């Protein structure tokens, strides 16, 4: 392997925090229509996860056609050269979802929270900002996600049953979303029918100002309860604290320049968002301040959770909700 090829793998690669194997229709934990365990990730997905996939294409031809061996090879290679292991190179886990260090909560305490489901399976979270618009992460809406295979469940603390299940009519991803750097990791969905607001279904206001470093915040979702753990069918939440972008990109933490414009961080000891929480809300002062985006593993010391900064992206959302 040439030095140029090795150098291409040394750049930290963020782990997306959606639940699903992108080559499959189902997500961990499933839903009404799909409760089957995930299969191992395909090699095509591994190639997509690497920042420099073109270097890997030729390697694919020289490797044995065994997906498990391929996944193990690149996971070890990423670890050896200090890369952040991309989602898809991690060993595949039993069905599950999670908030790390979370506490069970009621939907009445988080009535803006929705489960985003693809082909009947939960794989991301989202937040209600109007009676027919949901905001989520852009990486939750890229292929193979389409409006026709997406639905949201609102008004229930359980991602499998209860509340209302509504078909998505249209989706829109931020035009500046970058799949390599994850800047502008935000998108919106328009629902086919309007939500009826009540104690379990409410819109949340989007922040117009970025919260200060150290501000109290909370995260909610159905994602994994540990990096190598399983999911909860019941909504969980954790209290955390905002880590400003400049602080998050400083030598105090391990991300460096990977934390870029339109991002904000949050951290608390042994508490974090994880796989399955992508697109879900980071709330501070009763406002939506962040969208779960990426991180290194989950609740790993020196590596805060990274979120799309809603205050910086608010104007785009306001325009997108009128054009989606």
User: Is the torsion defined by CA of 205, 248, 300, 5 positive or negative?
Assistant: positive
Q: Which of 80, 96, 121 is the last residue of a domain?
A: 80
From the list 110, 139, 157, 174, the catalytic residue is: 139
Render pLDDT for 15-49 as a digit per residue (tens, 0 to 9).
Answer: 777 765 333 333 433 444 333 333 222 222 222 23
Helix ranges (H only) for 13-163 are: 43-49, 53-62, 67-80
Residue 27 and residue 46 in one domain = yes
Count of C-beta atoms within a 10 Å radius of residue 58: 9
From the list 21, 185, 272, 277, the catalytic residue is: 185
Supply the pTM of this predicted model: 0.73
* Residue 278 bears catalytic tag: yes
Residue 275 falls within a domain, yes or no? yes
Residue 198 and residue 319 in one domain = yes
Question: What total number of domains does the chain contain?
Answer: 3
Residue 33 and residue 55 in one domain = yes
Residue 89 falls within a domain, yes or no? no
From the list 8, 119, 232, 278, the catalytic residue is: 278
Residue 189 falls within a domain, yes or no? yes
Cα-Cα-Cα-Cα dihedral of 314, 283, 115, 271, to 10°?
A: 130
Render pLDDT for 260-307 as a digit per residue (tens, 0 to 9).
Answer: 999 999 999 999 999 999 999 999 999 999 999 999 999 999 999 999
Render pLDDT for 71-113 as a digit per residue (tens, 0 to 9).
Answer: 344 444 443 444 443 222 222 222 222 388 999 999 999 999 9
Computed over every residue of the chain, the mean pLDDT equals 79
Residue 15 falls within a domain, yes or no? yes
* Residue 185 bears catalytic tag: yes
Residue 224 and residue 170 in one domain = no
Q: Which of 62, 80, 98 is the last residue of a domain?
A: 80
Mean per-residue pLDDT, 148-165:
97
Residue 127 falls within a domain, yes or no? yes
* Residue 40 bears catalytic tag: no
Residue 154 and residue 225 in one domain = no
Query: What HEC string does 174-243 produce?
Result: CCCCCCCCCCCCCEEEEECCCCCCCCCCCCCCECCCCCCCCCEEEEEECCECCCCCCECCECEEEEEEEE
What CA–CA distance (Å, rounded) separates 149 from 198? Answer: 27
Residue 72 falls within a domain, yes or no? yes
Segments forming the whole domain that contains residue 235: 216-311
């Amino acid at each position: 392997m040439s030095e140029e090829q090795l150098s291409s793998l040394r750049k930290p690669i963020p782990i997306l925090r959606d639940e699903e194997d992108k080559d499959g229709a189902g997500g961990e934990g499933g839903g009404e229509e799909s409760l089957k365990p995930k299969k191992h990730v395909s090699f095509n997905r591994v190639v997509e996860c690497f920042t420099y996939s073109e270097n890997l294409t030729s390697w694919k031809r020289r490797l044995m056609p065994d997906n498990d061996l391929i996944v193990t090879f690149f996971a070890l290679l990423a670890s050896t050269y200090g890369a952040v292991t991309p989602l898809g190179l991690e060993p595949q886990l039993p069905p599950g979802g999670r908030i790390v260090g979370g506490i069970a909560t009621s939907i009445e305490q988080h009535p803006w929270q929705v489960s985003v489901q693809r082909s009947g399976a939960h794989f991301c979270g989202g937040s209600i900002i109007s009676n027919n618009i949901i905001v989520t992460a852009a990486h939750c809406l890229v292929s193979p996600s389409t409006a026709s295979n997406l639905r949201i469940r609102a008004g229930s603390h359980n991602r499998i049953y209860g509340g209302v299940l509504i078909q998505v009519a249209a989706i829109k991803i931020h035009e500046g979303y970058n799949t390599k750097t994850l800047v502008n990791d935000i998108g919106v969905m328009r629902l086919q029918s309007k939500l009826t607001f009540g104690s379990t279904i409410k819109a949340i206001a989007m922040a117009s100002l970025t919260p200060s470093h150290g501000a109290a915040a909370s995260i909610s979702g159905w994602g994994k309860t540990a990096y190598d753990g399983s999911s909860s069918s019941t909504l969980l939440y954790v209290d955390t604290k905002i880590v400003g972008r400049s602080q998050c990109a400083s030598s105090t933490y391990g991300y460096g320049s990977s934390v870029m414009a339109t991002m904000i961080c949050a951290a608390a000891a042994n508490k974090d968002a994880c796989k399955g929480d992508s697109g879900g809300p980071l709330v501070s002062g009763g406002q939506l301040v962040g969208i779960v985006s990426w991180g290194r593993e989950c609740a790993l010391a020196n590596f805060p959770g990274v979120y799309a900064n809603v205050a910086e992206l608010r104007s785009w959302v306001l325009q997108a909700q009128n054009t989606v």
